Amino acid sequence: MRLLFLFVLVIGSVLSATGQKNTALKPLKKIYGKDALNAFEKEHGSLDLLFYAYDHAINVIQNNGGKTIDNVLKAPNASILHFTDLGVKIEPFTQYFQSEVPNQLIAVKSLYQLQLEFKASKN
């Protein structure tokens, strides 16, 4: 009985972990396409960094300095949860978008920032 319970627990854990990655895969395919995902996987060894980025790439920044943000692109809607909702790829530079909230920016972290955070999260 214990062995059966352990078996079910292990199978459930494995399916849960792969299920989380698969939920990010569909929106990533819409933005990157199959060839770009394969190239990313070849360059970085896996898609784990993109799976991490899917949930961690967005930051909300206050424009407390009052700098002009008129030249910053506007975000398409207020329900942005992932960088794929903005229709952008992770780039070597941080990308900024105007929020619907005045003096607030939405930032998509750079590839380098995400690599550092991902590495730290594994430790």
The C-alpha atoms of residue 37 and residue 42 are separated, in whole angstroms, by 9
∠ at Cα 31 (26, 54), nearest 5°?
65
Q: 96 with 57: CB under 8 angstroms?
A: no
Q: Are 80 and 34 in contact (CB under 8 A)?
A: no
DSSP bridge pairs for 25 = none
pLDDT truncated to tens, each residue of the chain (123 aa)? 555 444 444 455 444 444 455 789 999 999 999 999 999 999 999 999 999 999 999 998 887 676 777 778 788 766 778 999 999 999 999 999 988 888 888 999 999 999 999 999 988
What pTM value is reported for the model? 0.76
* Per-domain residue ranges of the chain: 2-122
Residue of 54, 105, 53, 30 lying closest to 75 (CA atoms): 105
